[in-house]
Amino acid sequence: MADRRELVVSFGEMLIDFVPTEAGVSLAEAPAFVKAPGGAPANVAIAVSRLGGAAAFVGKLGEDEFGRMLARILRDNGVDDGGVVFDTGARTALAFVTLRADGEREFMFYRNPSADMLLREEDLNVELIKRAAVFHYGSISLITDPCRTAHLRAMEIAKEAGALLSYDPNLREALWPSSDKARTQIMSIWDQADIVKVSEVELEFLTGINSLEDDVVMLLWRPTMKLLLVTLGDQGCKYYARDFRGAVPSYKVQQVDTTGAGDAFVGALLRKIVQDPSSLQDQKKLEEAIKFANACGAITATKKGAIPSLPTETEVLQLIERA
C-alpha cells in the first residue's frame, strides 16, 4: 500500500489512440493506423510511477479486449488499478489522432457512449481516493452524466480527506456540444482546485484574449489556488503562486511527437510536490520542480507515443545535467 503522503490518484478517461503509420497526413489520407494507449489522466498516473512515485488510476473501461489491455498497461507500469471498473454494456473509448502537415492535431472520437462516460458514483473506490495526497483530473469527465456526478463526488471525497486538487482541463473541443458549454463546464469547478495547469491555447479559449500577459493570466487566478501554470510548449512555463510568480525556460530537444508532453510535465510536477509540499511556498524549490517537469515534458516529445516516451528520473536528471 502506497504512503498516502505521496500517492497521486488520477481520475478520468483512458482510451486507445489510433495513430497513422505515416506522419503529416489527414485521417482520411492515412494508409494505416497503429494503436497506442492514451487518455491524459492515465498518462499522468504512469508518468508519476515511471519517475518512482506512487500512483493510482480511477476510471471505467469496457469489459472488452481493449479495456483489459489498458488495465494491464496500468499494472505493468506500476500504477494501482484498484479504482478501475469495467462496463459490460459499453466499449472502451477510441480516438483517431493525427498530426497534419500544417502542425495541427486532428481528432475523431468513438464514444457514443463509451465506458468512461458511464462511471457512476457507486463505482468509486472511496478508500483509494481518501488515500490521495494529490487528486488529479481533467474536464472530459465533466461532459456528461453519470460520469460528471461521479467526478464531482470524487473531488469532494478527496478534498475532505485532505488531498490537494490538481486540474488540467485538457480541452478537446470536438467532444463538447459547443464551445460555450465547454467553457462553462470547465470553469464550473475552477474555484475548487489547488493547482491548475493550462496551455496557451486553453488560456485564450477560457479568457477570450490572445495574450500571455500577466493581467490576462490573472483572470484565471483564484484566491483559493496555490499554483497556476501556463505551459508554453518548447518555450517552457509561466507560474503564479500566492506570493511570487515567474517563468522557467524549457530544454532544447529534437521534437518528434508532442503527444503526452503536457501530461509528462504534470506528472513530474505532482511527483515533486508530493515529495516536498513546501515547494508551493518556496520560489527556489518550486522553480527546481518546474525545471524537472519541463525536462520530463521535453524528453517525452523526443519519441513517438505518450506512454512509451515517459522518462525515468535518471533520464530527466541526465538532461538537466547536460543542459
Residue 99 has pLDDT above 80, yes or no: no
- The predicted pLDDT at position 103 comes to 60
**Distance between CA atoms of 133 and 55, rounded to whole angstroms?**
10
Say which residue the cell 517563468 belongs to: 247
Measuring CA to CA, how many Å separate 128 from each of 10, 58, 117, 172? 11, 9, 20, 28
- The predicted pLDDT at position 1 comes to 43
Grade residue 304 by pLDDT with cuts at 50, 70 and 90: confident
pLDDT in tens, 19-51: 888 888 889 999 999 999 999 999 999 999 999
Residues 6+ apart with CB under 8 A from 234: 250, 252, 253, 255, 298, 301
- Look up residue 110 and give its three cell numbers: 468513438
Active-site positions read 263
SS3 readout for the chain: CCCCCCEEEEECCCEEEEEECCCECCCCCCCCEEEEEECHHHHHHHHHHHCCCEEEEEEEEECCHHHHHHHHHHHHCCCEEEEEEEECCCCCCEEEEEEECCCCEEEEEECCCCHHHHCCHHHCCHHHHHCCCEEEECCHHHCCCCHHHHHHHHHHHHHHCCCEEEECCCCCHHHCCCHHHHHHHHHHCHHHCCEEEEEHHHHHHHHCCCCCCHHHHHHHCCCCCCEEEEECHHHCEEEEECCCEEEECCCCCCCCCCCCHHHHHHHHHHHHHHHCHHHHCCHHHHHHHHHHHHHHHHHHCCCCCHHHHCCCHHHHHHHHHHC
Q: Region 285-292: what's the mean pLDDT?
A: 98
pTM for the predicted model, two decimal places = 0.96
